[in-house]
Structure formats: C-alpha cells, structure tokens
Structure 1
Amino acid sequence: MYPSTPPETGRDSWPENRPGPAGPHRAPDPRGRPAGPDARSPFDGPRVPDGPRVPDGPRHGDGGRSGDGPRNPDGHRAGARVTDGSRQGSEVDPEELDGEEELPPVPVRRLLSVAIAGFAGLLGVGLIFGAQTAGPGARLPFAVVVFGVQLLFVLAWTMAMRPPALLLVGGVAVAVAAAADAAAVLPQIAALAPLGYVAAGGFLVGVLGQLVRRADRARVTESLGATLFIVVGVVAFGTLIVLSRIPKGTQAIFVCLTAAAVALTVARVTDAVLPWPRLAPQVPRGAAGVVIGAMLGTLAAGILGSYLVAFTPTSGAMVGLVAAAAAALADLGVGYGEAGRQMAGEPPTMWVARHMQGPLGGFALAAPAAYAMSVFFL
C-alpha cells in the first residue's frame, strides 16, 4: 500500500461543507489567508450575519441604491409615498391641504338675526311714512328723512369697507348726499340727470383726494371701488325724492318699499328660525329665508296693488317682485362680502355698522329699482 500523503505545510484540511451558525464554510484562500467564517478580504462585501453573503447585490437599509430605485436618507425610495404619517414636501396632496385650511362654519346667531330684522322693518316704515309727508310744496321733510338714512349708509359702509383715506371718503360721501337731495328737490322739473352729475363730481373729488396722498396710491384699485360704491349708494336714495315728485310716485314708493321691507324682515326672521339650507359655511344665512322673504314681499305688493288707484294686483305684484328680489339679493351679497373680508384676514369692523350694512344696502338697491319700474311700467 502506498503511504498516506502528509498535509501540505500552511494548508488545512478541507472541512465538511455543512452550514453552521455563521453560514457555510469556504475553501481556503490560495493567497494565504485563513479559511473559515472569519476570513475577510478587502474585495469582499459586508458579511450578512444571518444568511449567505451577497457581495455584489443591492444593499438594503443603508440609505444606498437598490434595485427599486434611489432611496432617500431615511431608507424610503424617492417618489414613494411615506406611510408612517410624515409627508415629503413634494408629495403632499393639494386636496388634503385644502381640506385642512377650511374654516369652521359660522354659527347662526338667532337673536342677532331678529335684531337685524327689526332694524330693516323700522327703516322701511320710516321711509314709507316719510314719503307720505311729501306734497307738491313740501318736499323738504321727506328729504330730511332720506338724508338721515344716507348718513347711516355712509357710516356703515365706510366702517365696513375701510377704504384708504377713510375720513376723506366719508366726508365726500356726506357732501354728495346733501348735494343729491338738493338736486332732487330744487329743480322745477323732476329728473335724474342732476343726480348723475352729482355722483360723477363726488366720485372724481374722492379719487383725486386719495391720489394726492402718497400713502394711498398703492391701494388705488381698492380706493376706486370703495369710493364709487359709497357715492352711488347715497345717490340711489335720492331717487326716492325724485320719484315722490312724479305722478303716482308716492304710491309706487309705498308698494316697492313695503315689498322690500317685508322681504328683508321675513328673510332675517326665517334665518333665526330655520337657517336651511346653508348657502355657504362662512355666511350665516339660509336659502329658505331669501326665497320666502321675496315671495311674501311680492304677495304684500300684490295685495296693496288691489287697494291703490294707480295699481292693479298684477302691476303691484310685478313692481313688488323686482323691489323685493333686489333688496333680498343685496342683503345676501353683503353677507358674502363680509365673509370674504374675514377670510382675507382683515380686521373686524364696528359691530353695529357691520350688521346695518344688509338692510341699508337692500333699500339702496330697491330705491332705483322702484323708480325704474314706475317710469317704465306705470
């Protein structure tokens, strides 16, 4: 028998190829490194403790690159949605942002709605009885009543809109109100042309007064809008004085202002009882009040038309419908405007002035509507 060959110097015998706790053994390295699970090489990758070593494959969990694409430092793939509650800056859903920025609905204050309804009713009664005092040679008492309402309008709207040079705009508006009432009373023939001249002159003076101030030039667009609205509003009340000077004008004022007063009052009372359905979360008004108010205002005008000489139930209802709808929509538009100012972050205005806007704006729009309906349909 041949003698057994002794093992070579510096080489170990081949171990059995069975997996151990640290993985399977490897063959001895011919470069002289020891074999076994602790053998390391600078060309080797990191050793995986619980499984076979992957020298050239993707490395997971170390912030590097993998087969699924580049990874962020936190171990997630770039462009992937993070499911642990955190959001990447470019991965946020715009719809979720819009939902988070929505303001809570504004509650409906029932006592406040009733108070505004009472103010609208008193305002309508004052204008109606003031028109009844006007006669062929006594226009001045009604002009005084209208001037008082114009002062309230200027106070409420200047404090709510807060245009640049607020005192200047308020002073010009008061001067325009007085000039419009004089232009409605003094001419021998009743016409709207003098009121138009007064409105144009007042608007021009208000704009020039704000442009002279260097601090107000940056808000020139806002200045123009606020000045125009307030000037036109005070001149609109002057149309009632002109309407009282034409035949059937006093009866037209009676019918139209009654319809407007009923529409505004009923709408606010309905909001105190049944503010449904809500027109907008930030507007404490309901659609039922607007619709019911306009309908009852039209009904009241039709009933009055059956008792007045210059009207019929049909003509009374037609004229009343226009006046009631104009007043109700103007009141509703005031609510949307106030909600927009609050959402824009503007400071709140005077409490009384803010809630007087709606009825005053409703009658300011109903007055020229009454004049137009009387001229074209009576």
Structure 2
Amino acid sequence: MKYLFCLILFSIHFSGVGQEVFRDQNFDPDIKTAYLFPANDPKGSNIHAAVVPLSQNVPLVLTFDEVNTDEAAYYYASIIHCNADWTKSGLNDMEYLYDFNEFFIEEYAFSINTKIPYTQFKFRLPRVKVPGNYIIKVYPEEQPDNPILTRRFVVYDRKVGVLPKFERSSGISERITNHQINFKINYGSFPILNPHMDVKVVIRQNFRWDNAIEGLKPTFVRTDINELEYRYFDLQNNFFAGNEYRFFDLRSILYSGQNVAQITEHRGMYQATLYTDIPKGKEAYAVFNDYNGGYIIENSDRSGDYLEADYIQVHFNLRMDQPLSEDIYLAGALTGYKFDKSTKMTYDDEAKTYQNSLLLKQGWYDYIYYVPNHEKNPYIIEGSHFETRNNYDIIVYYSHPQLRADIVVGYWKGSN
C-alpha cells in the first residue's frame, strides 16, 4: 500500500491526462514478430498473457524483428503508465519507474542463412513501482515521437480476490454458442468505499483486447462480508465461445507440415500455400488441441530456432461459392487481431475463394476467419460452440480521484 500513499502525496504537484488511446501497433512495415513473453519461457512463445505481478520475479521480454536489413539500428524504449482505458495516466515517470525513462535496446543478433535477412532485437522490461496498465514504446535514437511499435502489458498487485464461475448462458438461444462468466470480488480490508465508481473490471478471452468485456458494475454489494458480485441475466458477461482454432505447421521448408499444401521458392523468397479451407459454421463441434490463437516460433530444419528461422509468404484460401456482405479477416496472434487492409480476405470470383497472404516467420500458427461486423455472430465462418475451450482472464482496477491513475489490484487467469 506504500505506493498509494506516495501517489496521493504527489497529486498536489502534477495533473493532466492525455487522451490518446494506446494499442498494440507496428508503425513500421518492416517490424515483424513483435510480442512480449515471460523470461522463463525457453522458446519465447507468443501464447502467454503479457501480465506480471508487481514483484516481477519473472520479467517480461520484448522481442521483434526488423526485416530486409543486415544492419542494427539504434533503438530505445520508454514505458508509459496508463489508465484502464489505455489513455496515459496522470503519473510522471519518477512515480512509477526506478530508472530514467529511456532504455537503450542493446541486445540484437542477425539472421543466419535466411532468404530474407533480418535483425532480431530483445529487451527485458524494467521493474516498475506501481501496478496498472503499461505501454512499452520503441523508437529510433533521438526520435521518441516517431515510434516503430507499441505493446501493452499489465502489472498487478493482488489486493482483492477474484472468484469466477463459468455457466451456460442465461439467454435461451445463446446456451449452445456462448460462454457466460459470473464472478465475485472479495476485497477484504482493501478500502473500497464506492464500488460502482472505484472498481473497474475487464474480462478477456484468449488475452484479446479487441473483444474484451468492459464497463461491468457489481449487481450485488455485500458490505457485511466485503464482497462484490457480478451476476447478469442480460448477456453483458457473455462471449461467443467460438471454435477451436485452425492451425498450420510451418516449422520446416524442406517438407510440407500439417495443413501446408506446398512450399516453393519464388522471387528470392519462400512461398507456402495452405490447403484450401472451407467454412465450419454448420459443422458439429470437434475436439482438438490448439494454442487458443497463439503461435510458437520454431525451425525444425536447423538448430537455431530464432536466427535461422526464415520468413515465408503464406497464402490463405477460403472456399465460398458466394461472398458475404460483410468483410472477412484473418485473425489470431499472427495478425494481432487487427482488422484492416492487411488482414482482410479478398474474394476472387473466378476461383470462388477468399484470398490473402502474410509474411510470417517459421513456426506453428493458430488462426481463424473472423467477421467482426456481422450483425449476429462474428464466428459465422468458424462456428461457435459452448464446448470450445478458451483461456480467460479478469483484471480488476481500482480508481480514486486522488491517485490520478487506475491501478490493478486483482487478477485471475484460467480456462473454462
């Protein structure tokens, strides 16, 4: 609780909060495979939540590649404390950092014997003093206002307990397609005076921010046992369950892995064509393992997974006799769940397929075809089944006017 006291003391001296909403973004098209992972993951997989406790005994590591270069640029990183809505908080650097807020990224290495040359950078995130939402911003030397990428991460200090309960949806037609998450927050001796104003909750599915549930208010406040209950009957706490992710194995360029039809070399680079997909929206649920939308960088042809893994142009095809009126996008960690021109599928009338291609590093990838603007169900291509297994996490924020920031006081992570 020491940081709460310190932040209140500072409040008389500093004020003003920016309105820019920070997101996971690449601002340079040559920046690829950028993500955060825990330092104790030997493979550096993109299957983890970028969330750590305030103790930060296992810090997060940022990794990213700059392709089409065999020289190392000078890049720096800075850390920004944010509110629950990902706008900059009212805290200044010295309130949440132990160091000067400009960190030189000194760890880098060059790719080895790859068709597409790249430089891989790694940076271990510094410790912070205060829990909350954070942005790491990477930028060229002396150009802090010209970032090449930003990534979100969360630091929590567990002051309250979160008790979730997965149930079938309270909606009749949604019982076979949705996951419903009711939960309780036990705040014990933590000083929550106005739960409807001071507590904010975010629920994520598979660590996604694009479809996170926000703005929930407690339906019951039990001051006698210091407990907040979130139990809804109007679908506010419902997610489309979706389906198990499609996947492809791109770990080798010497042979075609699972769901890869062929690998060729063209225009000085490798090209991989996946088997043509078909819609699964009307199929029954089928059990198989996936990474819930994540990916693992791996090269089975050579010993050095990271530096000897090549970049490959991967071609996706989705068979549909007629195009949808809404746009279809490739989704998963491989696209960062960004729905823009680069991830949009384009319909070919002659081939009767939706098509797109992505430049991806060798590895194992999950993906889905997603229709974010569909009037009823964004999983119209994939299908949505109550039986689908997903990861979920719940982030609890505490907000108080004197703090000038939202801090994370509770966190739960698990699966249905």
Which structure dedicates a bigger proportion of its chain to helix?
A: 1
TM > 0.5 fold call: no
- Compute the TM-score of the two structures, normalised by the length of structure 2: 0.20
Higher relative contact order (CA 8 A, sep 6+): 2
